Homo-oligomer: A and B are copies of this chain.
Amino acid sequence: MSKQERIQPRTLKGFRDYLPETMIPRERLAEVARRVYRSYGFAPIDTPALEYLEVLTGKGSDETDKQLFHFVDQGGRAVGMRFDLTVPLARFAAQYAQHLGLPFKRYHIASVWRGEKPQVGRYREFMQCDFDTVGTTAVAADIETVLVTHDLLTAIGAEFGLGAFTIRLNHRGVLNGLLESCGLAKKSAAVLRALDKLAKVGEEKVRAELAETAGANEQQADAVVRLAALEGDNDTLLAELATLVGDSETGAAGVERLREVLTGLAAAGVEPARVRLDPSIARGLDYYTGLVLETTLDDLPGIGSVASGGRYDNLAAMFTKQELPGIGASLGLDRLLAALEELKLLPETRTPAPVFIPYFEADRLADYLKLAASVRAAGYGAELYPEPKKLGKQLQHADRRGYRVALIAGADELDKGECQVKDLATGESTTVAIGAVADEVGRVLGAG
């Protein structure tokens, strides 16, 4: 092919390739998530990347969301690429509720697409990692959602050496109750918009906005700001919240639900330090109606929440008259990856196999194949270099990829039925009988 005919190899703006060094930990994260979700009985599902546009956006929306990738397909249908996994879950639940039986617990790990302006760390294609319990308002489901989040972060911590985390809980009813009790119930959207800016712009500007957009008087603004600024241990906060919501039933029910959730978490053995009430957490309040949660890393709180979610009253109103209340949360896979990278917790390896076998005696391929097979049979991934090049060159290749052990066997060693097992981290080398190689590999890997 001539140079003129060649195509420049590149990805679209806002899209990215995952190279092995990033994809290996990303797969490990997804595997940990699957393991934890399954351990609670959440079942995997998958839905198509493409859906009818009306399924994604609803009927009669004049202006299709600009963030949506959409087009007319070969059959003349208006279609779009899913932008989250919640709308597909709503369609799925409406379509199969009968078949699935309720309550239904599913997890879904899949890519979604949004045509938003690309920014550092934000892409137009990213992976979501959701779990939801649909068809129940029970407190046990609230508790379980927090437990799953807890077990997820604990398991990821163990896998990558990540430190402690804090799950922050709030309840939409508590916020609403407060607004009711101070006469701002009808202005909740404006209030929460203002409140969300507290950390960024400070109290004075929030007060000004509350006055302007929500028509709040000084006393009302006081109550709102005081709520968000509350601090203390969970018991103290529960008591203060109960006072603040006054005689609002919604508020009192929210406080009671938070109390039940904390009790359940303690019963299940969750360390108290891992869960904290935080009245400043709001999270997309148009959607959520009950418990809301966020999770921050104690070593890197600035990166934001790495696992978030909440309870909703009615998942699938767009598709069915059947009311489907539920609760769900999502692991922020890509944000966690970024956090692990920033904390230097990602191993610098480009190979999923720890063992490297150089092939440098051209006519002894059969011996190397046997050696590799025996190591794999013992459960250790082993890569055999495919070409009989000079040993030094092959070891350079190995070094670049980040293998942990090399099995070096020249003609002499092969004739004697022996092999060097070299620890690539320390450079130390032990010669053992071929039959004992797997054990020695295990010893080196175990020590590392």
CB-contact partner of A267 in B20, B370, B400, under 8 A: B370
Cβ of A160 within 8 Å of any chain B Cβ, yes or no, is: no
Distance in angstroms between the alpha carbons of A27 and B37 in the assembled complex? 13
Q: Which residues of B contact A382 (CB under 8 A)?
A: 39-41
Interface size class of A (residues with CB under 8 A): 35 or more
Cβ of A410 within 8 Å of any chain B Cβ, yes or no, is: no
* Interface contact A92-B17, CB-CB below 8 Å: yes
Q: Which residues of B contact A15 (CB under 8 A)?
A: 48, 50
Distance in angstroms between the alpha carbons of A105 and B58 in the assembled complex? 44
Cβ of A199 within 8 Å of any chain B Cβ, yes or no, is: no
* Interface contact B383-A40, CB-CB below 8 Å: yes
Cβ of A101 within 8 Å of any chain B Cβ, yes or no, is: yes
Number of copies of chain A assembled together:
2
CB-contact partner of A45 in B18, B151, B369, under 8 A: B18
* Interface contact A44-B73, CB-CB below 8 Å: no
Cβ of A122 within 8 Å of any chain B Cβ, yes or no, is: no
Cβ of A29 within 8 Å of any chain B Cβ, yes or no, is: no
Cβ of A55 within 8 Å of any chain B Cβ, yes or no, is: yes
CB-contact partner of A50 in B55, B125, B138, B373, under 8 A: B125
Q: Which residues of B contact A43 (CB under 8 A)?
A: 20, 23-24, 350-352
* Interface contact A12-B320, CB-CB below 8 Å: no
**Residue interface mask A101-132, B partner, CB < 8 A = 1:** 10101100001010100000000010000000
Distance in angstroms between the alpha carbons of A387 and B141 in the assembled complex? 9
Cβ of A158 within 8 Å of any chain B Cβ, yes or no, is: no
* Interface contact A400-B140, CB-CB below 8 Å: no
Binds B, one of A1-9, A250-258, A283-291: A1-9
8 Å CB interface, A39-94 against B: 39-52, 54-55, 58-60, 66, 69-75, 77, 79, 81, 91-92, 94
Cβ of A264 within 8 Å of any chain B Cβ, yes or no, is: yes
Cβ of A200 within 8 Å of any chain B Cβ, yes or no, is: no
CB distance from A146 to the nearest CB of B (A): 11
Distance in angstroms between the alpha carbons of A5 and B55 in the assembled complex? 12
Q: Which residues of B contact A397 (CB under 8 A)?
A: 101
Cβ of A416 within 8 Å of any chain B Cβ, yes or no, is: no
Q: Which residues of B contact A139 (CB under 8 A)?
A: 365
* Interface contact B38-A7, CB-CB below 8 Å: no
* Interface contact B320-A352, CB-CB below 8 Å: no
Cβ of A190 within 8 Å of any chain B Cβ, yes or no, is: no
Q: Which residues of B contact A48 (CB under 8 A)?
A: 11-12, 15-17, 125
CB-contact partner of A39 in B6, B41, B60, B381, under 8 A: B381
- Chain B residue, CB-CB nearest to A318: B7
Q: Which residues of B contact A91 (CB under 8 A)?
A: 9-10
Q: Which residues of B contact A60 (CB under 8 A)?
A: 5
CB distance from A99 to the nearest CB of B (A): 7
Q: A38-B352, A71-B71, A268-B373 are in contact. Are A17 and B47 (CB under 8 A)?
A: yes
Distance in angstroms between the alpha carbons of A94 and B69 in the assembled complex? 27
- Chain B residue, CB-CB nearest to A99: B19
Cβ of A317 within 8 Å of any chain B Cβ, yes or no, is: yes
* Interface contact A73-B115, CB-CB below 8 Å: yes
* Interface contact A386-B144, CB-CB below 8 Å: yes
Q: Which residues of A contact B (CB under 8 A)?
A: 1, 3, 5-13, 15-20, 23-24, 26-27, 34, 37-52, 54-55, 58-60, 66, 69-75, 77, 79, 81, 91-92, 94-96, 99-101, 103, 105-106, 111, 113, 115, 125, 133, 136, 138-141, 143-144, 147, 151, 263-264, 267-269, 316-321, 350-353, 356, 359, 365-370, 372-373, 376, 380-387, 397, 400-401
Given contacts A9-B94, A39-B380, A263-B366, 14 further A-B contacts (CB under 8 A): A5-B60, A6-B319, A7-B318, A9-B91, A10-B55, A12-B79, A15-B50, A17-B47, A40-B353, A66-B74, A101-B401, A140-B384, A151-B376, A268-B372
